[in-house]
Amino acid sequence: MWKRLRKSKAAGIAFQVALVVAAVIAIRAFQTRNAVQGPAPSLVAQSIAGEAVELAALRGEPVVVHFFATWCAVCKAEEHNIKAVAEDHEMIAVASQSGGVPAVAAYARDSALTMPIVNDANGNIAGDWGVSAFPTTFVIDPDGQITSVEVGYTSELGLRGRLLLAGL
């Protein structure tokens, strides 16, 4: 009797775990449905510091392209992870729908963001990349192929793992 009850409980737990995993996969697929896949789109712009930013110039090593908005609470919550990874990996941040250059520059200064930041005031760059929510983070391999797209909060460890896989 106890053996049967334990098997029944184990089957119920396994079913619940499978249900949660299926829900997470479905949500992730929905969130990334518009994001570009395959070759990374061209990204040529001027940073808020006035420097030229060109994604193609970074070929040969994994690169992160991180879309955020200054008004986004989740973006602010994961900011320490993004800053930590940017210390030792190539990264381009795109501030989308966040106002003009002075507003984005003030935000970057107050948040101690040091990676190149492109201002995408109208959301045109985000649109080219299929970004429909913030934050959205792309990992691009040394050949310019998108290997990972994450929408929402991402951990430093998770981002470093994706960069490691992209570099293999």
Tell me if 141 is assigned to some domain. yes
Tell me if 55 is assigned to some domain. yes
What is the reported pLDDT for 12?
78
Tell me if 6 is assigned to some domain. no
What is the reported pLDDT for 4?
61
Tell me if 56 is assigned to some domain. yes
**Among 50, 40, 33, which Cα is nearest to 141's?**
40
Q: Is the dihedral of CA 28, 120, 54, 129 positive or negative?
A: positive
Tell me if 10 is assigned to some domain. no
Tell me if 26 is assigned to some domain. no
What is the reported pLDDT for 3?
61
Tell me if 133 is assigned to some domain. yes
The model's pTM is 0.86
The angle at the Cα of 164, spanning 163 to 168, to the nearest 5 degrees, equals 115
When divided into structural domains, the chain yields a total of 1
Q: What is the CATH number of the domain that holds 149?
A: 3.40.30.10
Cis peptide before 142 (omega within 30 of 0): no
Tell me if 27 is assigned to some domain. no
Q: How far apart are CA 151 and CA 35, in angstroms?
A: 9
What is the reported pLDDT for 157?
97
What is the reported pLDDT for 43?
97
In this structure, are residues 10 and 20 in contact, taking their beta carbons and an 8 Å threshold?
A: no
For residue 148, list its beta bridge partners: 139
The parent domain of residue 126 ranges over 38-166
Q: Which residues of the chain have pLDDT under 50?
A: none
- CB proximity list for 135: less than 8 A, separation 6 or greater: 66, 67, 68, 69, 72, 74, 75, 78, 82, 151, 152, 153, 154
